[in-house]
Chains A and B, each alone.
Chain A
Amino acid sequence: MREALVEVVDLVKTFGGLVATDEVSLTLHQGEIHAVIGPNGAGKTTLISQLSGRLKPSGGKILISGRDVTHLPVAARSRMGLARSFQITSLFFDFTALDNVAIAVQASRGHSFRFWQDVTTDEAIYGPARQFLSRLGLEARAQVPAGDLSYGEQRQLELAMALATKPRVLLLDEPMAGMGHDESAKIIALLREIKNDYAILLVEHDMKAVFALADRITVLVNGAVLASGPPESIRGNPEVRRAYLGETTPKEGGVR
């Protein structure tokens, strides 16, 4: 088995009486895409937010390369190699597309307490930034303010930024949501091409994409793991089928 980069152990998150993450354990391995699927409100985004540090778990542990990071803040975890893309597009909307990637590159190059260097002409930043942008096919849109990009382009820019921080772990929250067919095909091809270099957690509603990409699938329902295993075993799992048909009986304290 390949190196386990991220381990989640018995993670619990409650919002008041609502259990959004219910003793979830999973592992992300270098070179693997681990898909997390589940109906709306299953707790997928909540899980990612706890991994990235945005939300504090109510219980359980998160380890990166064996180190307990459960209580580390967002920025510190990013510096350990965690990158995230958001389900709800989160960009520097008044920056150009290129500047969005440039700040991500800058973030990966150590601290920014440099007051005297002219970043606007710094090839060490803009060189890689342009590369990541063209990797997502956005080079022609470099000078367009991110807020003026089409929705699909904004999603691609999210991904370019996540890659530009040179992470080891990618947490992707519905990267293909709202994309056209061609665009998602492009992202699928890209993820397949790069996956050897990362441990990827992929949350995605598009089952075609999930089954095309995933090495392992975890199904979340009402915050809890309903099933976890290789794609074939998930595809044939009757419980999973039922969950997706909306026939679940809500668990105690769970989500409706």
Chain B
Amino acid sequence: MTLNRRLIATALLLVGLGLIPIIAKSIGYLFLLTLFTRIVILAIAAVSLDLILGFGGMISFGHAVFLGIGGYAVGIAAHHGYYSALVQWPIGLAASALFGLITGALCLRTRGVYFIMITLAFSQLVYFLSVGIDSYGSDDGLTIYKRSTMGGLIDLGNKTTFYYVCYASLLLCLFLAWRIVRSPFGRVIQAARSNENRLQVLGIATDRYRLVAYVIASTMCGLAGILLANHTDFISPALIHWTRSGDLMIMVVLGGMGTLFGPVAGTIALLVLEEVLSTITEHWMIVLGPLLLLMALFKRGGLSALLGGRKA
């Protein structure tokens, strides 16, 4: 059964990710831990994007804005002396959800290229806002001197601990996404991608469902932003730049849209390739570009298509 093969591949991938701190320690490559912390965090963002892009057919070209909102929530709160995760995280998540709700309601009135452009426009708006606000570092960004505190229970300053917090967050998001995809709600989202007009004739007002999916994805990506700010101890407008949104899209497409294995595999592939190629040549983008092109041309389903079988 190819379906089982995909399940096994996903499980192996996740178990492998769970072993990273041990592997890194035993072979003495501690930078691996840093790299994979980043991978796990961005995988959350990629999974969230895949919910709307892959499953929902909403081609958002501004998804990184939610990395920024989550990140800036942590940075700004820390700047004002609020370090508790109980303060920072709910603010980051709520701000992402709210921004997703407002911009989503506007963006989702459009379709196709217009949707791509307007999501891009909103993210650029926030980008220039973050560049323009001097009190929060503008171009130079904002250093975060202390990671989110968790009442002394969990020390995010510890690299291994932090990795496992990110890892657990990824597992949680994957589980949520998996449940959603199989739920009546998820069915509606996928059917709307396939033939929205038909769905309306069946009596389902697709707009609301698409908006709720958009808000869920926004919030999930906000979580990635919160973690990313803690990981880098620093936030800057670069977090929101459109190229970052493009990276997220590449991860999803590279791994395989509309699968849960895809965005995780795609994130690993892209960041590891980036890492490896950049040690060989500083013009790594020249190598990576054609590689992605080949992938798009010959393996339309992305990495997950290599496993064969139907989408799961």
Q: Do A and B come from one complex?
A: yes
CA distance A54 to B126 in the complex (A): 37
CA distance A86 to B198 in the complex (A): 9
Cβ A107 vs Cβ B204 within 8 A:
yes
CB-defined interface of A43-79 with B at 8 Å, one 1/0 digit per residue?
A: 0000000001010000000000000000001111011
Confirm or deny: A115 has a beta carbon within 8 angstroms of a beta carbon on chain B: yes
Give the most central of A103, A106, A108, A116: most B CB within 10 Å: A103
When C-beta atoms are compared, the residue in chain A nearest to B183 turns out to be: A115
Confirm or deny: A244 has a beta carbon within 8 angstroms of a beta carbon on chain B: no
When C-beta atoms are compared, the residue in chain B nearest to A106 turns out to be: B184
Cβ A119 vs Cβ B183 within 8 A:
yes
CB-defined interface of B197-212 with A at 8 Å, one 1/0 digit per residue?
A: 1111111111001001
B65 to chain A, nearest CB (A): 24
Interface residues of B in 13-66 (CB under 8 A from A): none
A80 to chain B, nearest CB (A): 9
**Which secondary structure dominates chain B's binding surface?**
helix
Contacts of A116 in B (CB 8 A): 179, 183
When C-beta atoms are compared, the residue in chain B nearest to A84 turns out to be: B201
When C-beta atoms are compared, the residue in chain B nearest to A166 turns out to be: B203
Contacts of B197 in A (CB 8 A): 54, 90
Partner of B202, one of A73, A76, A107, A119: A107
Confirm or deny: A6 has a beta carbon within 8 angstroms of a beta carbon on chain B: no
B36 to chain A, nearest CB (A): 30
Q: Supply 16 A–B pairs (Cβ within 8 Å), ascending by A.
A: A54-B201, A74-B200, A75-B200, A79-B203, A83-B201, A84-B201, A92-B194, A93-B194, A106-B187, A112-B188, A113-B209, A113-B212, A115-B179, A115-B180, A117-B184, A118-B179
Interface residues of A in 163-212 (CB under 8 A from B): 165
Report the contact-size class of chain B (Cβ under 8 Å from the partner): 20 to 34
Contacts of A54 in B (CB 8 A): 197, 201
CA distance A118 to B194 in the complex (A): 20
Cβ B185 vs Cβ A103 within 8 A:
no
Partner of B185, one of A79, A102, A112, A165: A112
Which positions in B face A, CB cutoff 8 Å?
Answer: 179-180, 182-188, 190-191, 194-195, 197-206, 209, 212
CA distance A98 to B209 in the complex (A): 22
Which positions in A face B, CB cutoff 8 Å?
Answer: 52, 54, 73-76, 78-79, 83-84, 86, 90-95, 102-104, 106-108, 112-120, 161, 165
CA distance A165 to B204 in the complex (A): 11
Known: A106-B188, A115-B183. 12 other contacts (CB 8 A): A75-B201, A78-B202, A78-B203, A79-B203, A84-B201, A90-B201, A92-B198, A94-B194, A95-B191, A103-B199, A113-B212, A114-B183
Known: A95-B191, A112-B187. A118 touches B199 (CB 8 A): no
A208 to chain B, nearest CB (A): 28
